[in-house]
Structure 1
């Protein structure tokens, strides 16, 4: 119980100071280091089991920050920086302007930008089949769909919410957590993924789309934000018309190089190919190497800006999440779940609530799910309950809760690239996510037998 109280107190304090306008990076870093110090004083290990201890718990804290800097700066961070650099490059060469110029005329036939927003949401959900990482998908959408959505009349907050929320509901039948959930549910993967989970996911996505339409429109009207479609007459780009394809080449690359149509390539590799292809096209267009190199310098500066605004925030969020884990917050939640009484529906709701809370506070969907899913076979056997009845809503709740976390990688990355507060993104995703959660619970009750 003490661990739960410590975690909640620090989490509330972090939220309070972020709301008051303090730097989210600084507040999260201080909160995470404070939790790690408390963990060390309680005699708990600060580093994950895969990392070698330094010998002193005080230096273990600094060692963990180093581990995060290397991992998030070298893999996830590099992907974010590459995408931000690519987006800056597309703006510099006029490709984004050409997309808007060509798309604005037919899109004007649709009176409501919110209908376009929902269409973008469905496209983004389909992209989750190709990009398994929630953060990776979010930054890919921010670099490609976000500029288009904003320029056709969708507010920045609404567009950011669309980019942050596709991974809130699981569609991919082969993701790691689906495979683990199928094992815990004691069902064949095909039956679990396609016959049981997929119908629930589709129902939730459809209802979340409707919720997005009304919630984003309500928030825009409440804030008085008016974002008109960019007037085509104001666009003075000299870029060729075919340049409109270039901003979407990363999406095409991810779909082509997925291991089925061609070799399976990392998204950073795809981005290197896309930027190289663009630079070659620019050289053919101008036959001026100096101009091509100047454009690439813009891309490099975009990468540097992304490190400052997004990657360091991700590092700070990671320190905070590790602090909550090491202090015993997650294990405290597991103990709370086990203390509740009988009743399949009651236990399902308790597991959903606790998984959501853990995902919201730690910013991770996988960590709480992987921790709690170990309970399912034992709980199901004790209560004579179908394990699938417990695991399916818990699986979805872990991803939905991540989308409501101001410290999750996807929310932090999207907020940083949109230049808005993570809390604004959470506010924008809150109602659609809660609608999705209710639909998941109801659909599970209707479609999955409890016994």
Structure 2
């Protein structure tokens, strides 16, 4: 028997790895990179100007990095680490291409290299101190509710009337409609998502709804804009050149309601299909197994943040920030715990559970949000969004074609950047100009674009709401995206069809009406 030296094994292994890498690289270049390049050349007419060549290069860089990030996250790599590396790579390339790394509102440090690190600092301070603090407070609150037995009491009391409903999916749809109504009070998609995760999610899971389905319900209420007075609706009404009342209540709101109903139906069948495919059993928690000494009225405590948001909205009382409301809720629960046992040490020990819950949220959710922000800024500075806008302006003037192109590009931009506002704000600026030059009703373009930006955010693995919900549910962001994908597609199709039916495409139709 012939033995090979250890060193030769390593050389052979390295040669095999090199061959595999070269083979994969050539396959990627031959079947993906070159066809994509040729397609973009055809669409944009790259032979005309050097500026268009730069647009194509920027778009290709963004696509390659997005594909790489998605591949490694799907393979199970840390999403935080992968997004950080992808975002830093885009920022470095942007700097080498001469782009400003920092947003226009921020002051440069004087050096591009330190500007990149400065932006990470900005994200840590903003997302760790505002949005991040809200997420940490909600996670700490949820942990405290579990510790004092309030969540168990909710399940015990809710299980009695819910036992007459055999299908957990009907309960899921009821929770979805409640969550959509909550979007009227909480305008932030991420804020609403984490609020629902801290309140409705434990209840849904304990009554037999799978974690993936429950997380999808918490992530999708803000996919369709229901509030007629949100900032996006006001901006869209201005771009549509319509009075806000007519645009919001007579046009956008009916379309939104129809889309929400369609998405609820899609959730019912899609979540049931995925649960059957993954062999997830739905067994309601046996309430006899729940042992808690908490009094029955403790069942109200997990919902005090929602009650607080509705009361302290500036109409019935002072307008308070969600973090202020959460502090009040935690203090209220701590006081009740003290009154129950008059044991200060136990109360302080219980609060330690809340603080540890906040720390866990920082590690698992907030840092993921920071990494997603770095990645989104990298896509923005590389010129990815502006490149998509250039593609939109290169198409013809037929109303339905132009509307579909703008909707698809807006949705793709929202999916890649994770923002519902930024893509819409970027595209909405050109709606009046495109509409007037093409003889199209501006509202015909702005309404589906408005909804597409929010729908795209709901199926973005780097959006704040998806990342936060996935982190709190302890599942992959791609699992949440998979769970929300079909309802989002159904919602988008309904929005497009309803717009085609309810909104005239030609601007002359408005004048005639």
**TM-score per shorter chain, which class?**
over 0.9
2:265 is aligned with 1:210? yes
Distance 2:224 2:392 in 1: 23
* Contact preservation (8 Å) 2:233, 2:248: yes
Residue aligning to 2:492: 437
Mapping of 1:15-414 within 5 angstroms?
A: 15-414=70-469
Q: Is the 8 A contact 2:225 2:256 kept in 1?
A: yes
Q: Deviations over 1:116-164 (max 9, x none)?
A: 0000000000000000000000000000000000000000000000000
Q: Give the secondary structure class of the aligned counterpart of 1:17.
A: helix
Q: Output the CA distance in 1 between the equivalents of 2:406 and 2:105.
A: 28
Assess if the C-alpha contact under 8 Å between 2:208 and 2:282 holds in 1: yes
Q: CA deviation at 1:226?
A: 1.2
1:424 corresponding residue in structure 2: 479
DSSP-derived class of the 1:34 partner: helix
Instruction: Tell me the CA shift for residue 209 of structure 1.
Output: 0.2
The gaps in structure 1 that reach 5 residues or longer are: none
TM normalised by structure 2 equals 0.88
Tell me the equivalent position of 2:31.
none
Cα displacement string for residues 391-427 of structure 1 (whole angstroms, at most 9, x for unaligned residues): 0000000000000100000000000000000000000
In 2: Cα distance, 1:31 partner to 1:228 partner: 41
- Highest relative contact order (Cα 8 Å, sep 6+), 1 or 2? 1
Distance 1:266 1:181 in 2: 27
- TM-superposed CA distance for 1:225, in Å, is 1.0
Q: Distance in 2 between matches of 1:259 and 1:181?
A: 25
Q: Which protein has the larger Cα radius of gyration, Structure 1 or Structure 2?
A: 2
Q: Which runs of 5+ in 2 are unaligned?
A: 1-55, 507-513
CA-to-aligned-CA distance 1:21-49 (integer Å, 9 cap, x gap): 00000000000000000000000000001
Deviations 1:332-387 (A, max 9, x none): 00111000011000000000000000000000010000000001000010011110
What SS does the aligned partner of 1:117 have? helix
Could you say what secondary structure the match of 1:388 adopts?
helix
Tell me how far apart the structure 2 counterparts of residues 316 and 117 of structure 1 sit (CA, whole Å).
31
Instruction: Summarize deviations over 1:239-271 as a string: whole Å, max 9, x none.
Output: 000000000000000000111111111100100
Q: TM-score, normalised by structure 1?
A: 1.00
Deviation of 1:227 (Å): 3.4
SS at match of 1:225: coil
C-alpha distance in 2 between matches for 1:136 and 1:147: 17
Distance in 1 separating the partners of 2:325 and 2:210: 29
SS at match of 1:47: coil
* Pairs aligned (count): 451
Q: Output the CA distance in 1 between the equivalents of 2:211 and 2:393.
A: 42
Contact 2:168 2:282 in 1 (8 A): no
Q: 1:402 and 1:322 mapped to 2: Cα distance?
A: 15
- Of 219-228 and 346-355, more deviation after overlay is shown by 219-228
1:228 Cα deviation from its structure 2 partner = 1.2
3-state SS of 1:260 partner:
coil
